[in-house]
A and B are shown apart, each in its own frame.
Chain A
Amino acid sequence: MWPTIFKISLLKKVFSVFLTGFVIKIMDDYSDQNIDILIGKPNLSIVMELGGLPYALLLFLLSFLLDASTSIGLFLASFALGMAGSLNVKMPSGLYGYQESIITVLFGFLVLGRVNMTSSMLIIATIQLWDDLIDYKKDGINKKNWAFIIGKVEALLLAIIFFLLTLYLDCVKAISTIIFMHIIVYMINLLFKTPQKILDIEGKL
C-alpha cells in the first residue's frame, strides 16, 4: 500500500512541476514579448495572443490540484526572481521590484516553510542561469543576461552549485524540473517550427 501511495504522490509532484513550468514560461514570455520581438526570438504570447492568461490560469489550477506546495513554491520563486531582475522599476502595484521580491519571498517562507521555498528559489535560479548561458551568443541588446554580468564560467559553476543544493534539499523537484525544462523548451520549439515546415512543404508542392 505504502509504495503505491508514495508513487502516486511522486507522480503528482512531477506533473505539478511540469504544469507550473508551462505557466512560468507563459508568464516569462508575456513580460519579455517586446524585447523578443526586437531580437526575433520565438515567443509564446505572440502565438497565443489574448489566450495566454486563461490558459496559464487553467494550467496553474491543475498544477495546484496535483501538488499545492510545489506549484506555489515554484511560482512564488519565479515571481520573486523575475521581479529581482528589475529592482528599481516601479511595478503596477506601486511598489518597487525589490520590495515585491522581498514580500513574495517572505510570504513563501511563511506559508511553505524554509526547505520548500529555498529549494524552489534555488532551482529557478539554476534555470535562469542555464537559460542565460544558452542565450549567451543570442543576447546582444538584452543586458539582463547573468552570463554577461558575472561571467560565463561563474554562471555555469553557480548553476551547478544551486542544482546540487536543490538536489540536497528536494531530490524529486530538482531532477524533474531540469528534465521538464528541456521538454518544455523542445515542445515550444516544435510549435514554432511546425508552421514553417508546413509552409516549406506547401511551397514545394
Chain B
Amino acid sequence: MFYYNLLSIILALSVFLLGYALGRRVGKKEGISEGIALIPIEWRKQMLETSICPLCRKKLNTYVNYDNINNRE
C-alpha cells in the first residue's frame, strides 16, 4: 500500500512538473513577444508626457517653434 501511494505521488508530481515546465516556457515566449509589441507605444507615451526621450534622456526642444506650416503668417 505504501509503495502504491508513493507511485501515485510520483506520477502526480511528474504531471505537475510537465505542465509547469511547459506553461512557463510558453508563457516566457508570449511575454517577450508582447513586450516587444508594447514597448514602442510605451516609449512614445512617456516621451509625449515628459518631453524627455526615454532612450537618450535628452529633453525635447520646446522653446523654438520649427513648425513651418503654422508659422507661415
Q: Select which of B10, B14, B16, B17 is within 8 A of A168 by beta carbon.
A: B10
Residues of B near any A CB (own CB < 8 A): 3, 6-7, 9-10, 13-14, 16-17, 20-21, 24
Chain A nearest CB, measured from B13 CB (Å): 5
Residue of A nearest to B17 (CB): A157
Interchain CA distance A4-B56 in the complex, whole Å: 78
List 17 A–B pairs whose Cβ atoms lie within 8 Å, in order of A's numbering. Answer: A150-B21, A151-B21, A153-B24, A154-B17, A154-B24, A157-B13, A157-B16, A161-B10, A161-B13, A161-B14, A161-B17, A164-B6, A164-B9, A164-B10, A165-B10, A167-B6, A168-B7
Other 15 A-B pairs with CB < 8 A, given A157-B17, A161-B14, A164-B9: A151-B24, A153-B20, A153-B24, A154-B17, A157-B16, A157-B20, A160-B13, A161-B10, A161-B13, A161-B17, A164-B6, A164-B13, A165-B10, A168-B3, A168-B10
Interface residues of A in 139-166 (CB under 8 A from B): 150-151, 153-154, 157-158, 160-161, 164-165
Which chain B residues lie closer than 8 Å to A161 at the CB level?
10, 13-14, 17
Query: Which residues does A use to contact B, with CB under 8 Å?
Result: 150-151, 153-154, 157-158, 160-161, 164-165, 167-168
Cα separation A151 to B24 with both chains bound (whole Å): 9
Tell me if A's interface is mostly helix, strand, loop or mixed.
helix
Assembly CA distance A157 to B20 (angstroms): 10
Q: Which residues of A contact B16 (CB under 8 A)?
A: 157
| A158–B21 CA distance with the chains assembled, in angstroms | 11
Known pairs A161-B13, A161-B14, A164-B13; A154 contacts B21 (CB<8 A): yes
Q: Are B17 and A158 in contact (CB under 8 A)?
A: yes
Q: How far is the CB of B26 from chain A (nearest CB, A)?
A: 13
User: With A and B bound together, what is the CA distance between A161 and B21 in angstroms?
Assistant: 14
Instruction: Report Cα–Cα, A145/B9, bound state, in Å.
Output: 27
Residues of chain A lying within 8 A (CB to CB) of residue B24? 151, 153-154
Q: Give the residue of A154, A165, A167, A168 whose beta carbon is less than 8 angstroms from that of B20.
A: A154
A165: B residues at CB distance < 8 A: 10
